[in-house]
Amino acid sequence: MNKLIFSACLVVGAAGCFGSNPDENSQIYGDAAASSTGSAGNGGPGTGGMGGGGTGNGPIIGTPIGTFDTGLDGYAFGTYDEPPNLNGASSKMKGTLAFDGSVGNPTAGSLKVMAPYSGANQYVDIQSPTFPATSLANWMGGKLHVRVKVDAGSTFMGQIEPYVDTTSTFAFVGTSTNVMMGGGWHDYRVVLDSAMTHITGSDTKQVILFGVHIGSGGGGASQGPVTFHIDSFAVEGIAAPTTPDAGSD
């Protein structure tokens, strides 16, 4: 873990603060604290300008950039090798990622993720393919949305963090939110220009990839495996967003 990033997270007091490496998660090891624009702690999801959650029903908000109608579309686990990352190279119990053509929101087709949590502060990182280095995406002023459903039967009470990595250094921008309770699909968003975490050097005019971290959180000491469905990545508030190249590295 990048110690400078971790120190910055401690100063911010974010519910979940992730690193600048495209595969890195530098989530705080401990209970979440309230953010300046809403609670991101154990009392509920973060709200206000930085991000938050809402109902996942109805039309997609903004312009779709990842709908998984027919397959994975090049999305994959981030594999940065640190102990909390269940898909790091040294992890003994890795998550699984598959296409599910029967489940989705608002239409069928989604990513199905099984995260084999076994304790607190563990996470999976689902990320898009990268944009070509010569045409990074300008998402300044935009909001990134993603819909997530915790499958029935789970007692998951962790955090969900939509994010973007920016510039050729993969400088991170994201907001962590407590999972919305009550089952079903929920929409999670990050308001990019006022996100909870902006790593030094980040630039929302140069997005190189995007994704979502799903972590067991500081209170998840007894958390067991959870299955999620993920659908409908979308960008709101910008003109003609591009989509990443599924064939790129």
Q: Residue 37 and residue 40: Cα distance in Å, rounded?
A: 9
Each residue's pLDDT tens digit, 17-66: 433 343 343 332 222 222 222 222 222 333 334 566 566 678 999 999 99
Q: Residue 54 and residue 180: Cα distance in Å, rounded?
A: 8
Flag whether 245 is in a domain. no
Query: How far lies 172's CA from each of 71, 132, 152, in Å?
Result: 27, 18, 32
Flag whether 242 is in a domain. no
What is the pLDDT at residue 183? Answer: 84
Q: Residue 131 and residue 198: Cα distance in Å, rounded?
A: 20
What is the pLDDT at residue 227? Answer: 96
Comparing CA positions, the residue from 119, 122, 143, 130 lying closest to residue 194 is 143
Flag whether 243 is in a domain. no
Top-confidence residue, 30 or 232: 232
Q: Give the pTM.
A: 0.80
Give the domain CATH number at 41.
2.60.120.260
Flag whether 92 is in a domain. yes
Q: Does residue 8 carry a pLDDT above 70?
A: no
**Token pair 């790129």 in the structure block, residue:** 248
Mean of the per-residue pLDDT values of the chain:
81
Q: Provide mean pLDDT across the span 168-174.
A: 97
Flag whether 165 is in a domain. yes
Q: Does residue 16 carry a pLDDT above 90?
A: no
Each residue's pLDDT tens digit, 105-159: 999 999 999 999 999 999 999 999 999 999 999 999 999 999 999 998 888 999 9
Flag whether 249 is in a domain. no
**Taking a C-beta distance cutoff of 8 angstroms, is the pair 146, 187 a contact?**
yes
The parent domain of residue 9 ranges over: 3-236
Flag whether 241 is in a domain. no
Domain tally for the chain? 1
Flag whether 171 is in a domain. yes
Each residue's pLDDT tens digit, 69-115: 999 999 999 999 999 999 999 999 999 999 999 999 999 999 999 99
